[in-house]
Amino acid sequence: MSGSRSSQSSPSLTYSPLPTRFTDRFGLTTPIALAPMAMASGGALAAACAQAGALGLLGGGYGDPDWIEEEHRRASRLLEADPGARSRLGCGFITWKLDQDRRALDRLLASDAPPQAIMLSFGDPRPYSPDIRSIGARLICQVHTLAQVPIALEAGADVICAQGGEAGGHGMNGSESRGTFTLVPEIADCLASHSPDTLLLAAGGVADGRGLAAALMLGADGALVGSRLWTSAESLAADGAKLQAVGATGDMTVRSSVFDIIRDIPWPAPFDFRALRNALHLKWEERIEALKGDPSTARADYQAGLKAGDYSRIHTPVGEGAGLIRAIDPAADIIRAMTREALERLRLSGRPDPHRD
């Protein structure tokens, strides 16, 4: 890793009940990373995850510099008495949006307490890698297909995050996405052959300890958790949206471009958006071209839904793991429960206890 860090930001050496290369390299106590979900993974949630021993990634999203700086300061204040947890903070960005305006990334990298890790998703990470690595931050690159792995490796990714199509929010569109269950081991094999020091995280559908255990058994070093932590108490998502997720099943989610068109967010191909399928989505999902041609009626309907808090008309961006979410819990409780259940499942599977002499 290029660059250097002061001793005060070095990861604390803390006992991990479920050790992996990811926990060892990042000073974690659990092989979980918070997905950097735009407008949901704020400072309170990132700090809570870091305190619980996970990697807390702020949702830099579309790159609002003021919002990111404020949430980064919030997380840092919450962790000022815990340097070990403070070293487990990072931030994620939408790469194609950085191509339009990279000020948010530059300001964060130049801050007095720069992040431990930067995650880049949905675009080419290579233009940003030198600056990220120059401050000693680790680079996490999200990929959706095996074909995207060489670009991430060329960028010098310390960690590759393999996102399956089950994931909530943005990801590869339905005709080109891969399932997490096959994508992760295929990329694990690729990395073992071509870049064995590069770590691998699994993303998409990991919402409980069974999913975390499965990710490790498939060859990942850890998991990026989105929907389950999106519905945590500290998430900035609206309470009404969280309640929608708690009452949903995986069958009720759908991947399409409907909500991006309605919200006037011009996501490039081949990416689209998974959310709960509601009445507004049903109205337009078979009429995408008509929606693109004249979105005014749908947008007015959506805005009215926002004012009324009507979730038959506004989106709830959760993935297929929604059916495994039972309650709105504190992030620390979610992380502890996932870690405990994963450890139990792995022991039942006959996985050797790493702490046994």
Predicted confidence (pLDDT) per residue in 187-201, tens digit = 999 999 999 999 999
Report the distance separating Cα 166 and Cα 303, nearest Å.
27
- The predicted structure's pLDDT at residue 16: 74
Report the distance separating Cα 116 and Cα 137, nearest Å.
5
CB-based contact 210:222 (threshold 8 Å): no
Q: Are strands 159-163 and 253-256 parallel, antiparallel or unpaired?
A: unpaired
Mean pLDDT, rounded, of the chain:
92
Domains of the chain: 19-237+334-348 (3.20.20.70), 239-308 (no CATH)
The model's pTM:
0.92
- The predicted structure's pLDDT at residue 14: 52
pLDDT in tens, 281-339: 999 999 999 999 999 999 999 999 999 999 999 999 999 999 999 999 999 999 999 99
Amino acid at 50: A
Instruction: Name the E strands within the chain.
Output: 32-34, 56-61, 89-94, 117-121, 138-143, 159-163, 169-172, 199-203, 222-225, 253-256, 271-276
pLDDT at 175 over 90: no
Amino acid at 167: A
pLDDT in tens, 227-240: 999 999 999 999 99
- The predicted structure's pLDDT at residue 352: 52
- Sheet of 169-172: strand order equals 169-172, 271-276, 253-256
- The predicted structure's pLDDT at residue 357: 34
* Number of CB atoms found within 10 A of residue 3's CB: 12
Report the distance separating Cα 229 and Cα 102, nearest Å.
27
